[in-house]
Amino acid sequence: MRLLLLWMAAGALWAQSGDLAAGRAAFVSNCAFCHGTTGEGGRGPNLTTAQSVHGRDEASLRRVITKGVPGSQMPGFGNFEEPSLTDLVLYVKSLSSRSAGGQAMPGDRARGAVLYQANKCAMCHRLGSEGSVFGPDLSRVGAGRSAAYLRESLTKPAADIMPEYQGVIVTLRDGTRVSGIRINEDTFSVQLRDLTQKFRLFQKDEVQTVQDAPRSLMPPYNLPPKDLDDLVAYLASLHGGPAGNQTKQAEGIR
């Protein structure tokens, strides 16, 4: 009994300590692709902020790391074993502990909302129950993407194209070219949603070539700096939208 208590005490002490350097190494190997090497976000959320809808405490971090976030692109890493998991949790927690309470973001989100409408973003994107499904749903984009990533997505949309929004060019045997988002492709057919948002199906025997589009279907926006700040501030404020905070099975935000 005494040995068991000693073992439990040692385990608790080890769990509270961890190895920060080893945690950082695990983070760089497994998490940096989405969250950035410094944890400031990319495809994944910024982890250096003090607040998160999923929590910053140890139990929450363990749950997110091992189980993932349903309805998002965060997978579960259930194969993490001790002490690696404790080390990683310690490091991720240290990222937010450095936060001074959140940096002030430049830009006027209210004016950004006006710019969103003026630039007809809803023709491709969806907010809540409104807008188009041609491009990624932006209802929760502020919760899942850093401001830097949003800014780059507006000015250099080809920098990071999510696989589900990779453009495709179908060239028919008569030379006609049709561009759109690939919905599905198999041995016999290719299906896409074209730029007018119509679903198109082509049999392979009528197709000459099927090629990935060399650039993003979203055009780069060369906005004045003030407008860009305002639009990024508005997008960063989107954490659920009019439809609420429910998760979605095919969110696909970028």
- pLDDT digits 0-9 by tens, 45-71: 778 776 666 777 888 888 888 888 877
Q: Which pLDDT score, from 0 to 100, does residue 233 have? A: 94
Asked whether the predicted pLDDT for residue 253 surpasses 90, the reply is no
Q: Which CATH class is domain 109-159+219-237?
A: mainly alpha
Residue 45's identity, in one-letter code, is P
Give residue 121's identity as a one-letter amino acid code: C
CATH of range 167-212; options 2.40.160.40, 2.30.30.100, 2.40.37.10, 3.40.50.2000: 2.30.30.100
Residue 192: its H or E element: strand 189-194
Q: What is the pLDDT of residues 64-110, one digit of tens each?
A: 888 888 777 788 888 888 888 999 988 888 887 765 545 567 899 99
> Is the N-terminal amide bond of 83 cis, ω within 30° of 0?
yes
- Mean pLDDT across 190-211: 91
The whole-angstrom separation of Cα 7 and Cα 21 is 25
Q: Does domain 20-99 have CATH number 1.10.760.10?
A: yes
For the cut 80, the answer to whether the pLDDT of residue 232 exceeds it is: yes
pTM of the predicted model as reported, rounded to 2 decimal places:
0.65
Tell me the helix, strand and coil percentages in the chain, rounded to 5. Answer: 40, 15, 45
Q: Is there a shared CATH topology between the 109-159+219-237 domain and the 167-212 domain?
A: no
Query: pLDDT tens digits, residue range 132-189?
Result: 888 888 988 887 777 888 998 999 998 888 878 888 999 999 999 999 999 999 999 9
